[in-house]
Amino acid sequence: MPELPEVEVTRRALLPAVEGQRVISVDVREFRLRWPVPRDLSQQLSGRRVWRLLRRGKYLLWEFDHGTLISHLGMSGAWRVWPGDSAPPPRLHDHVDIVLTGGLLRLTDPRRFGALLWHASVAGPLEQHPLLASLGMEPFDPRFGGAVLYAGTRGRAISIKQALLAGQIVVGVGNIYASEALFRAGINPKLPARRLGPARCKLLAAAVQEVLTEAIRVGGSTLRDFVSAAGDEGYFMLDAAVYEREGAPCRRCGTPIRRIVQGQRSTYYCPACQRR
């Protein structure tokens, strides 16, 4: 499910059960995620209070006094929350339960590309954690804009689609929203990143922010109970302009949407609208 909007929607849904609440117990049923879940996670967290639940890119960061729990949903992960002890028995792929005073949080992740890691404060500043250190700018950072995109794409031979996806310039843009943002900006996804001038960078930066903002807003309604109750069915993007619409008429001009493969991932675009 998770690109930035899904992670952000998840964060907001979990907030009341997490922030300011104390961990009662942790039950790890499957340690083999992308990296092994720490064996001592339960000892590490039990009895401790989570002060804040933050997001960096697609990572969720659970801030404790003595360190930070880092979670990532990979391709197929989701957190769900139940109040009190109302949670049903865990099912296949329900790998971790974190019981807090605010409710039970359950991590499900069939493909196990997700991660759950502990970063102790004594190990150094969180920003220097290997997974976080080289991340690009947050798309909603007030400093983010065309200039950041322009600077970041200088000298880059890869396509603009892949540059967006790489997360070194700006984080949070996954495969769906990369296509959607490029459509909105009217930019051809195959264009080498270094060929973008300041004007197109400005358009694209704005498009990235718009697409993500809209997805969060829409997710807020369509995903409301995806985290709390409804389960796995939750995520779908309302009204994708191009994503998974190969052959369907462009909503702007009617030209059939085209699908290509870049870096082994599908890209969708309108060959007529995206000529910039």
Residues classed as catalytic: 2-3, 58, 265
For the bound state, the minimum distance from the C-beta of residue 175 to DNA, rounded and expressed in Å, comes to 3
Q: Which is nearer to DNA, 21 or 175 (CB)?
A: 175
Q: Which is nearer to DNA, 58 or 80 (CB)?
A: 58
Judged by the rule CB under 7 A, the positions of this chain that interact with DNA are 1-3, 32, 34, 57-59, 72, 74-76, 92-93, 110-113, 130-131, 134, 155-158, 162, 165, 167-168, 174-176, 235-236, 263-266
Q: At what angle do helices 198-222 and 4-18 cross, to 10 degrees?
A: 50
For the bound state, the minimum distance from the C-beta of residue 21 to DNA, rounded and expressed in Å, comes to 26
* Other residues' Cβ atoms within 10 Å of the Cβ of residue 118: 18
Q: Which is nearer to DNA, 14 or 109 (CB)?
A: 109
For the bound state, the minimum distance from the C-beta of residue 25 to DNA, rounded and expressed in Å, comes to 26
Give the span between the Cα atoms of 185 and 203, in whole angstroms.
6
For the bound state, the minimum distance from the C-beta of residue 48 to DNA, rounded and expressed in Å, comes to 26
CA of 131: how far to CAs of 24, 26, 98, 152, in Å?
Answer: 28, 23, 23, 19
SS3 at position 93: coil
DSSP label at 119?
Answer: E
Give the span between the Cα atoms of 116 and 139, in whole angstroms.
24
DSSP assignment of 121-157 equals GGG--GGGSTTTTT--B-TTSTT-SHHHHHHHHTT--
Q: Which is nearer to DNA, 46 or 209 (CB)?
A: 209
For the bound state, the minimum distance from the C-beta of residue 256 to DNA, rounded and expressed in Å, comes to 17
Give the span between the Cα atoms of 154 and 193, in whole angstroms.
7
Q: Which is nearer to DNA, 57 or 67 (CB)?
A: 57
Q: Residue 271 corresponds to which tokens in the numbers above? A: 């060959």
Q: Which is nearer to DNA, 59 or 269 (CB)?
A: 59
Q: What size, in residues, is the chain?
A: 276
State the distance between the two ends of the chain, measured CA to CA, in whole angstroms: 30
Give the span between the Cα atoms of 158 and 228, in whole angstroms.
40
The distance of Cα 233 from the centroid of its chain, to the nearest Å, equals 18
Cβ atoms 161, 131 nearer than 8 A: no
For the bound state, the minimum distance from the C-beta of residue 235 to DNA, rounded and expressed in Å, comes to 3
